[in-house]
Amino acid sequence: MVYQSINPFDEKTLKTFELVSDAQLESTLAIAEECYAAWRSTSFAHRAKIVSRAAAILRERIDEFARLATMEMGKLIAEARGEVLLSADIHDYYAKNAESFLAPERLSPTSGEAEIVSTPIGVLFGVQPWNFPYYQLARFAAPNLMAGNVITVKHSGCVPQCAIAYESLWLEAGAPAGVYSNLIVSHEQVIHVIDDPRIKGVALTGSSDAGKSVASRAGQNLKKSTMELGGSDAFIVLEDADLDKAVTWAVWAKMNNMGQCCIAAKRLIVVEEIADRFLEKFQKAMAALVPGDPMDESTTLGPLSTESALLQLLAQVAEAVADGATVVMGGSRIDRPGYFMQPTILTNIQPNNAAFRKEFFGPVALFFRVKNEEEAVQLANDSDFGLGGSIFTKDVARGKRLANRIDTGMVFINHPTWTSAELPFGGIKNSGYGRELSKMGIQEFVNKKLIRTTSIDESV
């Protein structure tokens, strides 16, 4: 097994990376453990200086980092720049707020004094995906490094250059060796790392199947874990929505990152009264997307990340059609070099269709008509996933009322589900557990320790 950096636009292999040996892996974990002994005792101000410097480097060299992401996984260059800036924002957010987020919490016992203090727990292990090769790392690393933990990461095998660039970022920012370590390891070595007693917590972002495997292994070792897994987000459009704006946001929500996003709008649920008009406008907008070089600013339809991802999506569409779904548009590979797929819309997807329960990770939208808001909520909740979702309506109070009934970790009103440093991110059901970002994200891998002081003469 090797890690390969392949340009999905022209299918050329850029670089190949061999796995680390078991001896090299052992050395890395030993250095991380040794580093933690010192890092946990550093001040918030010292950590913040390094984390802020990492943010500044990302901004100073935005094009360098962005181009690497575009070359390795095909992200449109403008979106790649946006990801680099988002990652820098996350670094700055925790550099600024970590100390207050983890400040001791005074309690009010019936006698004496008591407080909750937050302390780091040790070396953490993250398994991260390719679709946002910097943002996924930033939202794991920044809060946990500020909390005093030390980070080791197994990044996806198709973005090894991004992984190495992010590791180098921390060294350039002034972090000591071992604070952040990139691991080019096999699946068997991943199991070894999870089992290692020096690892105190495990975080994964990926598929539900990967989550089950990693969470199970962490559980066997009684280690805290967080899982941010797949999604099949509902994009609900009610009859009173601003139709043109809803369509514009639907295209963005479906096609951002070429649909390779856990919080992409995967199920468009539109009230019958406006369904035909919505579908007509949505189809027209999807058809206007222009395939091309993702490095070219004029390109609006980039390739998928890998050939295997493309072939899997094509197989899912074929299966959906075999089960009775209708292809409104697209459904095929684009006849050109690279891993390009036509923007695709499927309708007439019944509950007995395999597509009804699956996540489509790419430019495939599932379109559903419903009679009213009640059916919209029922359909939104009829999913094994529970990550995000959105509701479009001019009546914000109505939107909030329906949002409270949708079983997901996040619901946005009049905007697609999205992310920023100050907003908690995570889901329920097969979309995982735990939260990243915001004040909540930094609390996941810290020890909430009670310190109680009372009179030695006090009775029990």
Residue 421 lies in a domain: no
Residues 269 and 406 occupy one common structural domain: yes
Residues 212 and 272 occupy one common structural domain: no
Residue 420 lies in a domain: no
Residues 447 and 366 occupy one common structural domain: no
Residues 258 and 120 occupy one common structural domain: no
We report the CATH number of the domain holding residue 153 as 3.40.605.10
CA 160, CA 73: separation in Å to the nearest integer?
10
Residues 175 and 313 occupy one common structural domain: no
Residues 206 and 254 occupy one common structural domain: no
Residues 112 and 181 occupy one common structural domain: yes
Question: Would you give the distance in Å from CA 121 to the centre of its chain?
Answer: 23
The whole-number pLDDT of residue 94 equals 99
The whole-number pLDDT of residue 362 equals 98
Q: DSSP string spanning 85-154?
A: HHHHHHHHHHHHHHHHHT--EE---SSSEEEEEEEE--EEEEE--SSSTTHHHHHHHHHHHHTT-EEEEE
Question: Per the structure, how many domains does the chain have?
Answer: 2
Residues 250 and 204 occupy one common structural domain: no
Task: With cut-offs at 50, 70 and 90, classify the pLDDT of residue 98.
Answer: very high
Q: What is the pTM of this model?
A: 0.97
Residues 293 and 212 occupy one common structural domain: no
Residues 329 and 215 occupy one common structural domain: no
Residues 39 and 84 occupy one common structural domain: yes
- Cα–Cα nearest to 208, from 433, 430, 434: 430
Task: With cut-offs at 50, 70 and 90, classify the pLDDT of residue 458.
Answer: confident
Residues 108 and 150 occupy one common structural domain: yes
Residue 388 lies in a domain: yes
Annotated active-site positions, please?
Answer: 228, 262
The whole-number pLDDT of residue 2 equals 84
Domain that holds residue 144: 2-229+431-451
Residue 424 lies in a domain: no
Which tens digit of pLDDT belongs to each residue from 227-264?
999 999 999 999 999 999 999 999 999 999 999 999 99
Which tens digit of pLDDT belongs to each residue from 376-393?
999 999 999 999 999 999
Residue 426 lies in a domain: no
Residue 316 lies in a domain: yes
The whole-number pLDDT of residue 390 equals 98
Which tens digit of pLDDT belongs to each residue from 186-230?
999 999 999 999 999 999 999 999 999 999 999 999 999 999 999
- Cβ(436)–Cβ(137) under 8 Å? no
The whole-number pLDDT of residue 176 equals 98
Percent of the chain past pLDDT 70, that is, above it, reads: 100
Model confidence at 30: pLDDT above 80: yes
- Cβ contacts of 378 within 8 Å, gap of 6 or more: none
Over the chain, what is the mean pLDDT?
98
The token duo for 325 is: 């779904």
We report the CATH number of the domain holding residue 406 as 3.40.309.10
Residue 459 lies in a domain: no
